[in-house]
Structures are given as C-alpha cells and as structure tokens.
Amino acid sequence: MGEGRDVGCINGWDRHRIIQITYVLEGERQSLPVRFISTGFFGVGKNERLASLLYLMKTFKIAVLPGDGIGPEVMTEARRVLGAVESRFSMSFELNEARVGGVAIDHDGEALPAKTLEICGDAEAILFGSVGGPKWETLPPNEQPERAALLPLRKHFGLFANLRPAVCFPNLTHASPVKESIIAGGFNVLCVRELTGGLYFGQPKGISEVDGEPVAIDTMVYKKSEIVRIAHVAFKAAMTRDRRLTSIDKANVLENGVLWRKTVTEVGKEYPEVALNHLYVDNAAMQLIRNPRGFDVVLAENLFGDILSDEMAMITGSLGMLPSASLGLKETALGRFGLFEPSGGTAPDIAGKGIANPIAQILSVGMMLRYSLGEPLAAEAIEVAVRRVIDSGLRTGDIFSEGTERVGTEAMGRAIAAAI
C-alpha cells in the first residue's frame, strides 16, 4: 500500500518529523509529505495506512473575524494564502467566520456578540482584521468597537503578550520618513508589549465630579508576577534573534517603573546569553528614530508599548506591512492560543476601493502558524513569499515608488499565494 521516507523535521522535535509517504490509490502511485505525530504508525496493517495518512493531515480550527473598513478585503487575501499553505503543506483549516466591531453593532447590537466569543473559544487561534470607524464614534466610549470588542477579547482569553515585529525591507527604505542613510539596508526590531495590565486595566478608573469640576482617574497597576511573565516571553524571543533586549520604563518618576526595572533585571539573570539594557521611555522614543538598527527586542509595559510600537511601525514606512500577535495563557497542542492581526487600523478612507495593502494581514497568518499552530516551516514559506513578491517590484499604493509596479489588494494577495 505504501512506504515512508524521512525527509526532515521541525525544530528538531522527532514527534513532529516530516515524512514522505508514497502510496498507491486506485492504481496510481502518489507521494505526499506529512507530519509524523506518533511513533509506530507504520506497524499497522496495509488497509489502515491510508487512514493513518489522513489522520496525520491535521485540521486546524481558526476563528476568522474580518471586522470593519478594509478588514474584509485584506482578510480575503489572507484566506487565499491559507489555501496555498493547505496545498503545499498537506494541512487543512476549518475557518469559522464571525462578526466583530462596528459590523457586529449594526447586525447584533453589540461589538462582541456571544456567538462570536463562542466561535473564538472553540478555535485554536483567532485571525482578526480591524475594528472601528467614524460611523460608530458617536456611541458612548465603552460601546465603541475598539473598547467593546478588542479589549474584552484580550481580557477574556488572557492575551497578555503582544509581539509586534517592525521590519523595514532593504528595498523599501525609501518609504520610511527617517533619513535613508540611517536605515540603509533595513532593520528588524521586535516589540514585546505587556497587554493586560497597567493603565488600561487598573482600578479605580472613571470620571467623577470633585469640588464642582470633572476629574478623570486612571490607575497604573502591575503585579510582580505579571512583569515576570512578560519578561520571560521577551527574553525567550531574544534568544532566537540577536540576543539583545532593551527594557523600557520610567523608573525615575513612577514607582511602577522601579518595580518593572528591578523585576526584569532579576529575570535577566536566567538568560546570561542575552545582553540587557534599560531605557526611560522618553529616551527610547528618541533613540528609535536616531538609530533603529541599534535595537533587537524591546520590552515595554502596556501604555509605553502601545506608543513605541506605533512609532516603530511608522519608521518602517507603512503600517500595511506589519503584523502582530497577542498570545495568551491557554496552550494549544503546539503553541499558545493567540489573536493575530495587522498593526494598522480600518482605513475607512480607502475601504472598498481594492487598494489596501494586505501584507500585514497575510504576515499575521504566518505569525499564527508559528506561535499557535506549531508550523514554523509554513510560517517561513509565507515570509519568504512576501519578500519574493516585494523583490519582484510589485507594490500597493502605500509603498509604491517610481520604477515599481502598482497593484491592488487582490493582485498582491494572488502574487504572494502563488509564491508559496
């Protein structure tokens, strides 16, 4: 019926070894690479071998939340790329789409319907588009799409670690607002942001009247355990890169920063191979513009990470190029449950025109494969495909320059899918 041949492994884990299966089906000899999950699979009878093969073709259950604005357009191209991954890597995806954000408010009366939350909880990962827009800005703040959908999703699933790579491709340095002499050759910085603590979630919080005038209160709170948890994520990421970590705080003013710096330093002793340094957040904001290539991994609490990661994204030249991953406490079979989304917003000014850059959404698929689904080879294939298409000269409007070919959302997505 068939035979197996060892052709490689993922991350050196034998139980995830890739084997080439050759079998005869209806008189035709066929060959297929699959993931070998458990030992002894091929000691079974001949009639069971094809069943074993089909078992090995793992189906991943993904919650797909396109959202608002350009979200549905770029998500279409992400799904196209997932189809290409299915074909090449002999895996399949069960994609369950649900409404979120403004479109959910319009149809269901709330930004995060119970059905959407149920679909997300049933999945191994969430592929998220973007939410919000002018249409819903007149709603009470707590009912607007961003606050009423994204923040509750993070809290519900304990998505405590946000990873945002800021990558400037060598042939896209012209798109950056920074002098090309500063970023010649491009750069690659990873921002690791704590996502469920700090000023955004601390209590008390609210607006009240004191002595006859409105007073707003937000509270910045961090437990040591929360800092330890995110610090380990950052150090482990640094171990896979250039082994340099810059921790951001405001220890000269905030008690919060004092605890942050002390705790990160303690955790750093467990990673002697990683060079650790500390910067105040205002200095970090300046240094990122002055010399972005001087950074490898940046670790920051929620508010500082929110601001600095957007700055880093802008330095690369386009938010349309940058994905992000928000990882949680829940573990999947081969990784962590997470939410994967572009770093940019809904871009309502270009929504429906077919000109949005889908690369950030597509690279979010790569991050999902790497961090939640344990498929680094497939993730790398997407990243390589994006580089190839960029090198070929195709550009959406946000990264277009003279001498390159301007294409729309669909054409860019098709080109990347074809390059996988």
Instruction: Write out the two tokens for 134.
Output: 């002018």
* Burial annotation 277-300 (CB, 10 A radius, 16+ → b, else e): ebbbbeebbeebeeebeebbbbbb
Q: What is the pLDDT along the chain (420 residues), one digit of tens a residue?
A: 344 443 333 333 333 444 444 444 555 555 544 444 333 333 333 444 443 444 456 899 999 999 999 999 999 999 999 999 999 998 999 999 999 999 999 999 999 999 999 999 999 999 999 999 999 999 999 999 999 999 899 889 999 999 999 999 998 998 899 998 999 999 999 999 999 999 998 999 999 999 999 999 999 999 999 999 999 999 999 999 999 999 999 999 999 999 999 999 999 999 999 999 999 999 999 999 999 999 999 999 999 999 999 999 889 987 788 999 999 988 888 889 999 999 888 999 999 999 999 999 999 999 999 999 999 999 999 999 999 999 999 999 999 989 999 999 999 999 999 999
Distances 136 to 38, 151, 207, 216 between C-alpha atoms, Å = 51, 16, 21, 23
- Judge whether 249 counts as a catalytic residue: no
- Judge whether 122 counts as a catalytic residue: no
Do 75 and 104 lie in one domain? The reply is: yes
Asked whether residue 193 is domain-assigned, the answer is: yes
Asked whether residue 122 is domain-assigned, the answer is: yes
Q: Which of 68, 222, 250, 271 is catalytic?
A: 250
Q: Which of 222, 306, 371, 398 is catalytic?
A: 306
* 342 burial via Cβ count (<10 Å: 0-12, 13-18, 19+): buried
Last residue of a domain, one of 316, 345, 362: 316
* Residue 185: HSE in the Cβ half-sphere, 13 Å Cα cutoff: 4
Stated pTM of the model:
0.82
CA dist., res. 239 & res. 232, Å (int): 11
- Torsion sign over Cα 115, 119, 120, 126: negative
Asked whether residue 247 is domain-assigned, the answer is: yes
Instruction: Write out the two tokens for 274.
Output: 């990683």
Asked whether residue 172 is domain-assigned, the answer is: no
The total number of structural domains in the chain stands at 3
CA dist., res. 114 & res. 91, Å (int): 29
Closest residue by Cα to residue 378 from 320, 329, 334, 411: 334
List the Cα angle 53/58/59 in 5-degree steps: 135
Do 345 and 333 lie in one domain? The reply is: yes
Last residue of a domain, one of 316, 348, 368: 316
Do 52 and 69 lie in one domain? The reply is: no
Q: Which of 68, 200, 222, 398 is catalytic?
A: 200
Do 418 and 299 lie in one domain? The reply is: no
Last residue of a domain, one of 296, 316, 336: 316
Do 392 and 306 lie in one domain? The reply is: no
pLDDT attached to residue 318: 78
Residue 157's CATH number? 3.40.718.10
Three-class DSSP category at 171: helix
- Judge whether 205 counts as a catalytic residue: no
Asked whether residue 63 is domain-assigned, the answer is: yes
Neighbours of 229 (CB within 10 A): 17
- Judge whether 282 counts as a catalytic residue: yes
* 370 burial via Cβ count (<10 Å: 0-12, 13-18, 19+): buried
Do 124 and 136 lie in one domain? The reply is: yes
**Structural domain boundaries, residue 254:** 177-316
Do 13 and 83 lie in one domain? The reply is: no
Asked whether residue 274 is domain-assigned, the answer is: yes
What is the C-alpha end-to-end distance of the chain, expressed in Å? 30
Q: Which of 6, 282, 349, 391 is catalytic?
A: 282
CA dist., res. 362 & res. 106, Å (int): 27
- Judge whether 330 counts as a catalytic residue: no
The DSSP H or E segment spanning 303 is helix 302-316
CA dist., res. 134 & res. 145, Å (int): 11
List the beta bridge partners of residue 235. none
Do 73 and 161 lie in one domain? The reply is: yes
Do 185 and 301 lie in one domain? The reply is: yes
Do 67 and 119 lie in one domain? The reply is: yes
Asked whether residue 170 is domain-assigned, the answer is: no
Asked if residue 127 lies in contact with residue 121, where contact means CB atoms within 8 angstroms, the answer is no
Do 181 and 297 lie in one domain? The reply is: yes
Asked whether residue 271 is domain-assigned, the answer is: yes
- Alpha helices of 68-223 — where are they, by DSSP H? 71-89, 102-108, 114-121, 145, 151-156, 180-183
Instruction: Write out the two tokens for 102.
Output: 């403004």
Residue type, 296: D
286 CB contacts (<8 Å, ≥6 apart)?
none
CA dist., res. 9 & res. 32, Å (int): 15
Do 279 and 211 lie in one domain? The reply is: yes
